[in-house]
Chain A
Amino acid sequence: MDIFQKALDYAQEHQEQFWKATGEHLTLSFVALAIAIVSCVPLGILTSRFGTVARIVINIASIGRVVPSIAVLLALYPVLGLGFVPALIALTLLAIPPILINTDAGLRGVDPATLEAARGMGMTWFGRLWQVELPLALPVLIGGIRTACVEVIASATLATFIGGGGYGDFILQGLTGNSNIVLLVGAVPVAVLAFVAELALGGLQRLVSPKVPGTTRLRRVVARQP
């Protein structure tokens, strides 16, 4: 455990650098996630309505999932240069597929009988979406955000390759300088951040799951996913 003490000492000696990296890492992660949510939830609503569009859009998004973030970063470098923006774009691309796919799947998973009942009650298109479909799809949708969030926090470590900053700075310093101490100064906060995000969004997911008598809350919704 001695090495953790040393890592802590190193972080304290380099406080300015550490907090700068923390700020950069959090900003990168949350801005990328926010852009992905704002753009992909509406897109997911759209694809859940149109089968053909869904197939095309979701398959394209899935391609984004296959291309490694580091490749996106280095491919974007000649076009966008160094720094924050190209790193942000690469991370946003990474966050898109899980959010899009889960929004689509969540909405498709809503029981047709429930929708039929809503229509029968005279609810408008928007009313059905806002008051019935989205609340029912929310647990699955948040599941997508949860996946994306952990992936983005983890992958933001790659931003350092093109001067995007973040905890990756320490990780790369540790790797290239043959020092596990410095490496840990970057790696531990990333692991902790990812862990916290996973727990927090998992909790939120449980919180928004509809309560069904005789079952645990999410089971019914999950069971109905296509």
Chain B
Amino acid sequence: MKRKSFAGLGLAALLLISVLLVACGDPTATPVPAATTAAATTAATTAVAATTAAATTAAATTAATTAAATTAAATTAATTTTAPATTASAATTAAAAKGKVIVASKDFPESIIIGEMYALALENAGIPVERKLNLGTTAIAQAAITKGDISIYPEYTGTAAGPILKLQNPPTNPKALLDLVAGEYSKQFKLTWLDVAPYNNSNGIAVSKAVADKYKLKVLSDLAPVAKELRFASNPEFIGERSKIDGLESLQKTYGGFVFKETKQVDIKLRYKAVVDGNADACVAFGTDGEISGYNLVWLDDDKFNFPPYQTAPVVRDDILAAYPAIKDALNKVSAKLTTEKITALNWKVSGPDKKEPADVAKEFMKTEGLIK
């Protein structure tokens, strides 16, 4: 019995320790909980971040060890890359100068599609590319790129201002926001923002057609007073820590009202299904989600400009950009082509009934736009 109870205590202690470790460091600095505990199911969700981070590190190490072999192959394949690579090696880290450019994305269709476009554009420009698409959440992508495990990924100006830089009063003018974000990134993280795409994937709210007709809803001002009669499905971010700045609480401040009868937090991928299946009347919607028109929902305009703009651009590590200056031109050409209509259609090909692979959708787009052959 003694031994058994000690084992129990030890297990519980491990759980607490792993939570502590996650608490005290940033996710990348704590591979310990992932390694020690299959037992730490309690901290399962917390450990996800650490595990993924550990996995990326491991992958990066393997990439580094095989770098010698791959560069040989890469240089023969693309002779243009050898010159910048050697000149930059003095100024930058060895991994950045000699390794492949690691293109990543976050874990939702739009990010994966755009990540794949970046990868294709770079390959077309003769730059050796490795893909780490569908990497994870904003936190994981940010940790990976600052650490050097990835080189490039698509990010939104609004997200950079929000969860990453935690700005308290982000400007609502797109250009002002971009300048502010780009400046802070350069200063704090040594990361460069290339050109933003013209589309805006801002936060908003969508309601079912029936509800829109019943309450005559067109803009968010219409929804504010009747929210108390409606059920709301939200992704975690919208009602989390940033709720006051670009989530539900900010809506309450800007518009008044907006106290829903019931607010249900669901996984981000299930928001629309909740409305379609009748489990909710309204849900958080992003401007370029194909589901809005696909499921015949009604998008309500942010008529009082409550939300900051969410424009996409490639975020690139400064050392990688110095090693491969051709990245800039190649990716700016891609961004220029991404309009709201086009990206919405691409998203729907993946998340709608077609269920196409993001990689195929991206490739098709790049060909029709004449960006690759």
Residues in chain A within 8 A of chain B (CB atoms): 3-4, 7, 10, 77, 81-83, 143, 146, 150-151, 153-155, 157-158, 160-163, 165, 168-169, 171-184, 186-188, 190-191, 194-195, 198-199, 202, 206, 209, 216-219, 222
Residue B2, interface by CB 8 Å = yes
- Chain A minimum-CB-distance residue to B17: A191
Q: Is the CB of B1 within 8 A of A218?
A: yes
A178-B163 contact, Cβ under 8 Å, with A3-B24, A163-B233, A173-B236: yes
User: Which chain A positions have C-beta within 8 A of B236?
Assistant: 160, 169, 172-173, 175-177
Q: Quick one: given A163-B274, A198-B11, are A173 and B22 in contact (CB under 8 Å)?
A: no
Judging by beta carbons under 8 Å apart, are A163 and B42 in contact?
Answer: no
- Residues 157-206 (chain B) with a chain A CB within 8 angstroms: 162-164
Which residues from A are CB-within-8-Å of B44? 154-155, 157-158
- Decide yes or no whether B277 CB sits under 8 A from chain A: yes
B268 and A182 contacting across the interface, CB-CB below 8 Å:
no
Interface size for B (C-beta < 8 A) is: 50
Q: Would you call B138 and A160 a contact (CB within 8 A)?
A: no
A75 to chain B, nearest CB (A): 13
- Contact pattern, B 130-155, Cβ under 8 Å of A = 1, otherwise 0: 00000001110010000000000000
Known: A178-B139, A187-B19, A187-B22. A206 touches B46 (CB 8 A): no
Known: A187-B19, A188-B19, A198-B11. 4 other contacts (CB 8 A): A161-B267, A176-B268, A177-B162, A190-B42
- List which B254-304 residues lie within 8 A (CB) of chain A: 264-268, 270, 273-274, 277, 279-280
Nearest B residue to A171 by beta-carbon distance?
A: B45
Contact A171 B46 (CB under 8 A): yes
Most buried by A among B8, B48, B236: B236
Query: Please, how many angstroms separate the alpha-carbon atoms of A160 and B242 in the complex?
Result: 18
**Considering only CB atoms, which chain B residue lies closest to A139 in the complex?**
B1
Question: A145 to nearest B CB, angstroms?
Answer: 13
Q: How far is the CB of A192 from chain B (nearest CB, A)?
A: 8
Q: Do the beta carbons of A177 and B5 come within 8 Å of each other?
A: no
A82-B270, A202-B8 known; A194 and B42 CB under 8 Å? yes
The one of A83, A153, A188, A217 that contacts B264, using a Cβ cutoff of 8 Å:
A83
- Between A77, A83, A165, A177, the greatest number of chain B beta carbons within 10 A of the residue's beta carbon is seen for A177
With A177-B163, A178-B137 as contacts: A191 and B45 at CB distance below 8 Å: no
B237 within 8 A of A: yes
Nearest B-chain residue to A179, judged by Cβ: B241
Asked if residues A169 and B22 are in contact (CB atoms below 8 Å), the reply is no
Shortest Cβ distance from residue B77 to the other chain A in the assembled complex, whole angstroms: 37
A177 to B80, CA, bound (A): 41
**Which residues in A have their C-beta under 8 angstroms from that of B137?**
175-176, 178
CA distance A3 to B237 in the complex (A): 20
Complex contact A182–B240 (CB within 8 A): yes
Chain A residue, CB-CB nearest to B268:
A176
Q: In the complex, which of the residues A151, A186, A191, A218 has the most CB atoms of chain B within 10 Å of its own CB atom?
A: A191
13 residue pairs bridging A and B, Cβ less than 8 Å apart: A10-B241, A81-B277, A82-B274, A160-B236, A162-B267, A171-B45, A177-B162, A183-B46, A186-B45, A187-B19, A187-B45, A195-B15, A219-B1
CA distance A195 to B142 in the complex (A): 33
The answer on a CB contact under 8 Å between B19 and A82 is no
Residues of chain B within 8 A of A171, CB atoms compared: 45-46
CA distance A211 to B235 in the complex (A): 54
- Given the complex of chains A and B, what is the CA–CA distance between A143 and B4 in angstroms? 10
Q: How far is the CA of A176 from the CA of B236 in the complex (A)?
A: 7
Is B49 interfacial (CB 8 A cutoff)? yes
Given the complex, which residues of B lie within 8 Å of A161, measured CB to CB?
Answer: 266-267, 270
Is B1 a contact partner of A179 (Cβ separation < 8 A)?
Answer: no
Q: Is the Cβ of A81 less than 8 Å from the Cβ of B48?
A: no
Residues on A with C-beta less than 8 A from B265 are 160, 163, 165, 169, 172-173
Contacts of A173 in B (CB 8 A): 236-237, 239-241, 265
Most buried by B among A3, A83, A180, A218: A180
With a CB–CB cut-off of 8 A, which chain A residues contact B59?
A: none
Distance of B82 from chain A, by nearest CB (Å): 38
Give, as a whole number of angstroms, the nearest-CB distance from A167 to chain B: 9
- Alpha-carbon distance A198/B5, docked complex (angstroms): 9
6 A-B pairs closest in CB distance: A173-B240, A218-B1, A154-B42, A178-B139, A178-B163, A173-B236
Interchain nearest-CB distance for A125 vs B (Å): 31
Residues of A within 8 A of B48 (CB): 175
* Contact pick for A175, options B45, B164, B274, CB 8 Å: B45
Q: In the complex, what residues of A have CB within 8 A of residue B163's CB?
A: 176-179
Chain B nearest CB, measured from A146 CB (Å)? 8
Q: With a CB–CB cut-off of 8 A, which chain B residues contact A216?
A: 1-2
Closest B residue to A153 using CB positions:
B42
Q: Is B336 positioned at the interface, with any CB of A under 8 Å from its CB? A: no
Contact A217 B1 (CB under 8 A): yes
Chain B residues with CB under 8 Å of A3's CB are 23-24
Quick one: CB contact mask for B85-99 with A, threshold 8 Å, 1 for yes? 000000000000000
The answer to whether B270 and A175 touch across the interface, beta carbons within 8 angstroms, is no
B23 touches A198 (CB 8 A): no
Chain A proximity of B255: nearest CB distance (Å): 21
Cβ-defined contact, B46 with A195, below 8 A: no
